[in-house]
Amino acid sequence: MIHGTWLIRLPIVEDELLSSWLARNSFAHGMSAPRFCGLINPGREIWARDLDASISSRSLEMLSLKSEVPLRRLEHSTFRRFSRISKSFLRPISVYHRTRRGHGLQYCPACLGETAAFTRRWRWSFSTDCLRHGCQLYDRCPECLSPAVAHRGLARNIARCNQCGFPLSQANEVPSTQPPTQTQQDLETAMSKIELSSDHCPAAQEYVHAVHILITVLIGSGAIYRAAKILEEAGEIPRPIISFDLAGNRTRRNTFSLVDRLLCGPPCEIASVWTQLGLTQRSFRKTARPGFLSRAIMLLPPGIARKRPRPPLRIYGARMKKLRSSTPFDYVRQRSLVLTCPKPVGPPPNLSRQSSAC
Ligand SMILES: [Zn+2]
Ligand SMILES: [Zn+2]
C-alpha cells in the first residue's frame, strides 16, 4: 500500500476524464492502472465499473488525499454532478470485468496527439465533432475496430489501442460535414448549466430529458425513418438503430438535424409536423412528459388503443395466492401453468415420423 502522497503527480488537463488522468499517473509510476489503484486503495476494485460515472465518495476522497488534488477538482472530472435524468446522453462503455466492450469513449485524433488525454465531452452522444480541429470524432481503433480503453493502452500509453497497439492520435482526420446543430449546441449549454449551478438548473435538466424522450420515441416508433424521407435535406438515417447513444457518428448527426426541424416553431406547428409522422399521444404514454414537450403532445391526436386478441392469463389468482406459503408451491405452480395455458389448435405433430427422419 502507498502510505504517503504520489511521487509523480501529473496534473489534470482541462475537461479530462478521471479515468484518463488516473491511467496516466499509473503509467508514469510504471504500473498498470488496476495495480496502482490496488496499492492506493486496497480491496476496492474501482476499474470493474464505469469509474467516471459512478465512483464512490470514499474512493474519490482517497484519490484526492494521495494526489493532493482538491476534491472538488476531481469531482469535476467525473459525471457525479449529473443526475440520472441529465446523464441521458452519456454513452455506455459496457464494462466487462476490467475491460470495456462498448464504444462509448470517443476521441479526436488531433486533440489526443496534443494533450494525450481523453476528455469528458467525448463521452456525450451529442458530441459528434471536434470544434477545435473541425473533424469527426472516432469511437474505435481504425485498424482493429476495438473500443478505446484508456487504462489498458499498450506500452503504458493511453493513446495506443489496447488490442493492436495502433497510435490513436495518428488516425486520419475526417473533416466535419456540417457545423453542430442548434439542438447539439443547446444540449452543451444545458450540461454546463447543470454542472455549474448550485441547484443543478432544473430547467436545463428538463430540456435534456425532453430531447432524449423525443429521440427515444422517434426511434422506438419508427417515425425517424418517415421523418428522414419527409424532411429530405436532413440526411439519410441508416436502419436499424438499436441504441441511439451507441449509434454511429453520421446517424447521430442526422438525427439531430431532424430534431432541429421537429422542435422549431410554436407548439401547434410542432404538433402538426409530428402528426404527419404518425405520432400520437399514445406514442409518449410510456415516458414522463416534461413541460417543454407536454404542450405539443397535448395537441396531437389521442391515438387508438390496440385490442388484445384474448384476455391476459390470470395465473396468480386467489388459489395461487393461497398456495404461496405452502411447501410444494413450485410443483403446484408448474401444474397450474400447464392447465391454464391454452391448448394448441390443430392436430398434434407427428413425433414418430420426425424421430425416424432424424
Ligand atoms: Zn480536436
Ligand atoms: Zn486496434
Q: What is the pLDDT of residues 206-219, one digit of tens each?
A: 899 889 999 999 88
Q: What is the phi-psi region of residue 30: left when phi exceeds 0, alpha when psi lies from -120 to 50, beta otherwise? A: left
261: CA distance to ligand 1 center in Å? 28
CA–CA separation, 347 vs 128, rounded Å? 57
Q: How far is the CA of 307 from the centre of ligand 1 (A)?
A: 53
Report how far ligand 1's centroid is from the alpha carbon of 25 (Å): 23
pLDDT surpassing 70 at residue 175: yes
Q: How far is the CA of 141 from the centre of ligand 2 (A)?
A: 5
CA distances from 19 to 74, 169, 348 (A): 11, 18, 60
Distance 107 CA to ligand 2 centre (A): 14
Instruction: Report yes or no: 48 and 95 within 8 Å, Cβ to Cβ.
Output: yes
Between vectors from CA 121 to CA 115 and to CA 122, what angle results, nearest 5°? Answer: 75
Mean pLDDT over the full length of the chain? 85
- State pLDDT tens for residues 96-148: 887 888 899 999 999 999 999 999 999 999 999 999 999 999 999 999 999 99
Per-residue pLDDT band at 69 (split at 50, 70, 90): very high
CA 20 to centroid of ligand 2, rounded, Å: 18
Residues 356, 277: Cα–Cα separation, whole Å: 54
Per the DSSP assignment, residues forming a β-bridge with 99 are: 96
Distance 146 CA to ligand 2 centre (A): 6
The confidence score (pLDDT) of residue 287 equals 74
pLDDT over 50 (residue 4) = yes
End-to-end, the C-alpha distance of the chain in Å comes to 63
Count the helix, strand and coil residues of the chain and give each as a percent rounded to the nearest 5: 45, 5, 50
C-alpha cell at 127: 458530441
The Cα–Cα gap between 320 and 309 comes to: 25
Residue type, 48: A
Ligand 1 centroid, distance to 115 Cα (angstroms): 10
**If you measure from the C-alpha of residue 105 to the centroid of ligand 2, how many angstroms do you get, rounded to a whole number?**
14
Picking from 304, 310, 318, 306, the residue whose alpha carbon sits closest to that of residue 341 is 310
Q: How many alpha carbons lie under 13 Å from residue 41 in its C-beta half-sphere?
A: 21
Given a cut of 70, whether residue 84 has pLDDT beyond it is yes
Lowest mean pLDDT among 50-64, 89-103, 211-225, 335-349: 335-349
H-helix segments, 236-298: 249-262, 267-276, 291-298
Element (DSSP H or E) covering residue 135 = strand 135-136
Cell 419527409 locates to 230
**Cell triple for 341:** 395455458
Q: What is the pLDDT of residue 314?
A: 66
Cα 141 to chain centroid distance, Å, stands at 19
Ligand located closest to 154 CA = 2
Query: What is the biggest distance separating any 2 CA atoms in the chain, rounded to whole angstroms?
Result: 79
Residue 358 has pLDDT above 60, yes or no: no
In terms of C-beta density within 10 A (0-12 exposed, 13-18 middle, 19 or more buried), how is residue 165 classed? middle
